[in-house]
Structure 1
């Protein structure tokens, strides 16, 4: 019996070895390279002269880096909040209102934005919110304004709108999956006991859907803080985030050690915030994954 279990384990390891090796190659190797660069004085791994912590000292003591990092965290948190708040009603509608025969069609429609490049979608929002864009032209045509509104673009609000739209499907799908797993008999039992629909939602539906909400929050928060296209185009380069700072150090200034230290620091901060969020969810909402 034991030999049979070992044989099955060996077959399983043989089966997953190729994709596991590929994953380690495309994920671990770049991360290890960046980590190695962050401890160098020069930007050449082939000539390792001396390891140093000066890059990390510069990152943690520079007020500009601190300001950009706080701004990045704030924008990412705001985008996550807006995206999840808007995605939850959509996911709830798909799960509880749409008939089972039409759910696949609705999910198909939600994934349509993935058909176009992320860069194209960002450019479209720039056209929509621009000085002579769709919004300003429409308002002028209706006679609501006489001069185009200049505050629609190149600010944090426009960045939040663009990022929330870009990552909306990533938030809708995990929340929808969590809602689909809820036993409908629990909701009926709550109403049979005299609870209103609002209280049933608050005490039953929302706690049971929290794993999906947590997953959606992390899925949106992590890539948002590393986005550099939207701040460059929609923000006009006036509101740089940490990814823009990393890109500037890596490419424009050719300072790969400092850019790598910025990247490693950003990853560590995001990891800490993600762990704190999950821990708070388990502690206060009593959710068990």
Structure 2
């Protein structure tokens, strides 16, 4: 017995069919291919399609994989924390202290970094943080330091600084949207009931803005853990992340199955962390209510 659809349902399916097929072809199919590839093995140019779990055993027991994964989680966590902490005051200022007629201008200014290439911004940070770069030259010129600082480039610190700057707009915008949705009379009611500015912020503004904060954290955390350009250019040996090792496995060592295994494990770990984060946020909001 066939399913008969009315005219409105057929029109809806017609509208969603192209993007659905597009998503299947460009997302589901490649992910499925990577998952299948992770169960194969390869010796130079010979791909053995016999299903095996040896790649996963190696990835879970080899210290190098744990080191790179933990380093990637630590760097991405620091980038997320720094970005959200710096983005919240900016979003708060634009939402609560900028005239409504000028808010669009401020949002426009916030998005200006997107006008330049991502690679150009990374190279600019190399110029700023370099041994004889802008920062060291300025500090030496002011007499604050006697010799250039060496801990701000080609290490994890440089990766955190560069990624925090690159992803700042991604954190500002969702927090700003969440703050804009807060009913201002709620803040006035809180102050009328005796709460001060700090108390109103902690008990009313921040809980109501948490969906935007969570969205900002996920938007920053998920892509930064898979970034390989920034660690490659400014990270040095101590700033390389799991994505750099995946690239090496695919292109340098010609071991696509091992690279696919590493990618699958990284996706699973990031997915679990993201779900736990969302779950804890929902419990926090439920308790606050």
- Does the pair score TM above 0.5? yes
The 10-residue stretch of structure 1 (66-75 or 229-238) with the greater mean CA deviation from structure 2: 229-238
Asked if the contact 1:246–1:263 (Cα under 8 Å) also holds between the matched residues in 2, the reply is yes
Partner Cα separation in structure 2 for residue 197 and residue 115 of structure 1: 37
| 2:9 is equivalent to residue 9 of structure 1 | yes
Q: Secondary structure at the match of 2:28?
A: helix
CA apart distance, 1:16 = 1.4
In the other structure, the counterpart of 1:215 is 215
CA apart distance, 1:33 = 1.4
Partner Cα separation in structure 1 for residue 143 and residue 34 of structure 2: 54
CA apart distance, 1:43 = 7.7
In the other structure, the counterpart of 1:103 is 103
Q: Secondary structure at the match of 1:42?
A: strand
| RMSD (CA atoms) | 2.1
Unaligned runs of 5+ in 2: none
Asked if the contact 1:37–1:45 (Cα under 8 Å) also holds between the matched residues in 2, the reply is no
In the other structure, the counterpart of 2:70 is 70
Unaligned runs of 5+ in 1: none
Q: Secondary structure at the match of 1:188?
A: helix
CA apart distance, 1:234 = 1.1
In the other structure, the counterpart of 2:178 is 178
Q: Structure 2-normalised TM-score?
A: 0.94
| 2:53 is equivalent to residue 58 of structure 1 | no
Map Cα deviations across residues 220-259 of structure 1 (whole Å, 9 max, x no partner). 0001110111111111233221101101101000100000
Partner Cα separation in structure 1 for residue 142 and residue 49 of structure 2: 67
The 10-residue stretch of structure 1 (108-117 or 253-262) with the greater mean CA deviation from structure 2: 108-117
The 10-residue stretch of structure 1 (12-21 or 46-55) with the greater mean CA deviation from structure 2: 46-55
Q: Secondary structure at the match of 1:24?
A: helix
Distance 1:250 1:46, change over 3 A: closer
Distance 1:179 1:44, change over 3 A: farther
| 2:246 is equivalent to residue 246 of structure 1 | yes
Partner Cα separation in structure 2 for residue 109 and residue 287 of structure 1: 37
CA apart distance, 1:153 = 0.9
Partner Cα separation in structure 2 for residue 282 and residue 70 of structure 1: 26
Number of corresponding residues: 286
In the other structure, the counterpart of 1:285 is 285
CA apart distance, 1:118 = 1.1
